[in-house]
Amino acid sequence: MRCAVFGTGYLGVTHAACMAELGHEVIGVDIDAGKVAKLEAGEVPFYEPGLAELVRRNIDAGRLSFGTSYDAAAVFADVHFIAVGTPQKHGEYAADLRYVHAVVEELAPRLDRPALVVGKSTVPVGTAAGLVERVRVLAPAGRDVEVVWNPEFLREGLAVRDTLSPDRLVVGVENRDGGRGGDTMREFYTDLISDGVPFVVTDLATAELAKSAANAFLATKISFINAISEVCEVADADAVALADILGHDTRIGRRYLDGGLGFGGGCLPKDIRALMARAGELGANQVVHLLREVDSINMRRRTRMVELARAACGGSVLGVRIGVLGAAFKPGSDDVRDSPALNVAGQLHLEGATVSVFDPQAMDNARTVFPTLRYATDPVDACRRAAVVLVLTEWPEFRELDPVSLGDAAGDRVVLDGRNCLDRSVWEDAHWRYVRLGTAA
Ligand code: UGA
């Protein structure tokens, strides 16, 4: 089928390339001409394993192109995916929907024949119903343009795999008895469905909320283990061993029970806040209390990490050299949006420490957000003469560091493991003092 994907961020580029890989003809559309030029040349402007190869392969096969023209996209495609960002509004918890609205305002007046508009962006429940009305007013084809909501559940760092082998496909439709939206989507995803991917058709509101609820559940699971970690810290128990024990219970499961510095990134934090804002608007106030607690447990982990660093430096970090390993919000990504690692590095810097940061992929993004930190050339450079070393993103290259040679460069051989990712005995054997979250300090 012929489709257009509006927005060429993580979601849009991945979706466009993966849909081309499935055999569809795809045009990716963005208002940023510079970004489009890079993509046309096969360059992906962010780090996502496997994506650049996929983009190039599908451009070469003639199934994928990029452009800035809404006119061209409206003529070319029958299915139009909205894949723009919905960041948190400045000074508010609610999601900023301006980019979603901008796509609809530009696209709908150009739809003069039957077409399907498919929302993929994460939006507050009730948004799609409003867009249905707007499309009906703006599109010359009127009721022949249908709107469905098909939320995306991909993870950064695993975006290609999650898109080509998703756990489920969800399509919210306006009218489950009438309309062809659900059938068109079933046809569009036929290869995935025949691979056994569950395909769920529901109403618009349930589809929108399914995405917000999935992220809220993951955030809650992480904050749950981090709240229990706080108990472990005062009860002299071990939060990692405890998570393993809980994980053996198949009703609970081990995934998303990695305690430590907590969640960050462009999705979980802003999505729980957007859900709080929307639930509050609708009068469902009790869930707001739950999610507020999830958010504050998460933010407390960052404060705790700073406290541990301060304690390791004898009560103050003023004038002390600190090595920070990790800036990305998680390994496999160069994304530093709401990164716990960069947040902790920044707090220590603001308390007067000389902070030296290394990350395998996120250096440029980190430098843009926090230009006043020192950025090192490698892990050894970051840790040179450091009174304390903080491991804040669990990149495999940090797990595999040799504590003996790092110890020769570092000052006091104190390591704070913010992600429970180091082998304690190996570091202690190399005469490091090893401290981590979730155990008595
Ligand atoms: C998240 C969801 O997992 C995706 O399903 C969703 O599509 C996406 O948001 C989105 O809304 O676009 P992502 O932000 O890429 O994906 O990252 P995750 O892998 O879920 O990790 C989120 C954060 O939680 C990271 O900072 C990670 O370090 C942290 N985390 C994760 C933990 O602290 N503990 C865990 O056990 C797991």
Pocket probe for ligand 1: among 150, 161, 215, the residue whose CB has the most ligand atoms within 8 Å is: 215
How high is the pLDDT of residue 44?
A: 96
- Residue 35: count of CB within 10 angstroms of its CB: 19
- What is d(CA 15, CA 24) in angstroms, rounded to the nearest whole number? 11
Q: Which of 375, 366, 341, 161 is nearest to 264 (CA)?
A: 341
Say whether both 19 and 152 belong to one domain: yes
CA of 268 to the centre of ligand 1 (A): 6
Q: Which of 306, 367, 302, 312 is nearest to 334 (CA)?
A: 367
- What is d(CA 220, CA 298) in angstroms, rounded to the nearest whole number? 9
3-class state of residue 50 by DSSP: coil
What residue ranges in 337-418 does DSSP mark as E strands? Answer: 354-358, 374-375, 388-391, 414-417
Looking up tokens 């006043």, which residue turns up?
372
- Residue 99: count of CB within 10 angstroms of its CB: 18
How high is the pLDDT of residue 411?
A: 85
The residue type found at 310 is R
Ligand 1: nearest atom to the Cα of 214:
5
Task: Give the end of a domain, one of 164, 197, 230.
Answer: 197
How high is the pLDDT of residue 117?
A: 98
Say whether both 366 and 222 belong to one domain: yes
pTM: 0.96
What amino acid positions are annotated as catalytic residues? 267
Tokens of 35: 């970004």
Say whether both 251 and 185 belong to one domain: no
Pocket probe for ligand 1: among 11, 121, 155, 336, the residue whose CB has the most ligand atoms within 8 Å is: 155
Say whether both 233 and 162 belong to one domain: no
- What is d(CA 49, CA 157) in angstroms, rounded to the nearest whole number? 6
Q: Which residues contact 84 (CB under 8 A, 6 or more apart)?
A: 6, 7, 9, 12, 99, 100, 102, 103, 121
CA of 171 to the centre of ligand 1 (A): 22
Q: Show the DSSP H helices in 125-201 as ranges.
A: 127-138, 159-164, 181-188, 190-194
Task: Give the end of a domain, one of 134, 167, 197.
Answer: 197
Helix axes 204-235, 285-312, angle to 10 degrees: 40
Asked if 278 contacts 89 with a C-beta cutoff of 8 angstroms, the reply is no
How high is the pLDDT of residue 179?
A: 77
Say whether both 182 and 245 belong to one domain: no
Say whether both 158 and 218 belong to one domain: no
What are the distances in angstroms from CA 199 to CA 190, 196, 334, 383? 10, 9, 32, 49
Domain total in the chain: 2
Q: Which residue lies with its CA nearest to atom 35 of ligand 1?
A: 256
CA of 333 to the centre of ligand 1 (A): 11
Ligand 1: nearest atom to the Cα of 262:
33
Say whether both 178 and 218 belong to one domain: no
CA of 258 to the centre of ligand 1 (A): 11
Say whether both 307 and 215 belong to one domain: yes
Task: Give the end of a domain, one of 148, 174, 197.
Answer: 197
How high is the pLDDT of residue 252?
A: 98
Q: Which residue lies with its CA nearest to atom 12 of ligand 1?
A: 267
Asked if 307 contacts 372 with a C-beta cutoff of 8 angstroms, the reply is no
How high is the pLDDT of residue 181?
A: 93
3-class state of residue 6 by DSSP: strand
How high is the pLDDT of residue 175?
A: 82
Say whether both 106 and 244 belong to one domain: no
- Pocket lining for ligand 1, CB < 6 angstroms: 122, 152-156, 215, 218, 222, 256-258, 260, 262-265, 267-268, 271, 329-330
Say whether both 207 and 155 belong to one domain: no
Pocket probe for ligand 1: among 122, 208, 218, 297, the residue whose CB has the most ligand atoms within 8 Å is: 218
Asked if 432 contacts 412 with a C-beta cutoff of 8 angstroms, the reply is no
CA of 117 to the centre of ligand 1 (A): 27
How high is the pLDDT of residue 146?
A: 96
Say whether both 280 and 423 belong to one domain: yes
Q: Which of 189, 255, 193 is nearest to 225 (CA)?
A: 255
The strand pairing partners of 243, in sequence order, are none
Per-residue pLDDT of the chain (441 residues; tens, 9 = 90+): 999 999 999 999 999 999 999 999 999 999 999 999 999 999 999 999 999 999 999 999 999 999 999 999 999 999 999 999 999 999 999 999 999 999 999 999 999 999 999 999 999 999 999 999 999 999 999 999 999 999 999 999 999 999 999 999 999 999 877 678 999 999 999 999 999 999 999 999 999 999 999 999 999 999 999 999 999 999 999 999 999 999 999 999 999 999 999 999 999 999 999 999 999 999 999 999 999 999 999 999 999 999 999 999 999 999 999 999 999 999 999 999 999 999 999 999 999 999 999 999 999 999 999 999 999 999 999 999 999 999 999 999 999 999 999 999 998 999 999 999 999 999 999 999 999 998 887
Looking up tokens 């998303």, which residue turns up?
256
Range of the domain at 26: 2-197
Say whether both 175 and 262 belong to one domain: no
Compute the C-alpha angle 148/271/98, nearest 5°: 60
- What is d(CA 103, CA 100) in angstroms, rounded to the nearest whole number? 5
Give the containing element (helix H, strand E) for 305. Answer: helix 285-312
Distance from first CA to last CA of the chain, Å, rounded? 58
3-class state of residue 402 by DSSP: coil
CA of 264 to the centre of ligand 1 (A): 7
The domain spanning residue 413 has which CATH number? 3.40.50.720
Asked if 339 contacts 365 with a C-beta cutoff of 8 angstroms, the reply is no
Q: Which residue lies with its CA nearest to atom 19 of ligand 1?
A: 155
Q: Which residues contact 429 (CB under 8 A, 6 or more apart)?
A: 403
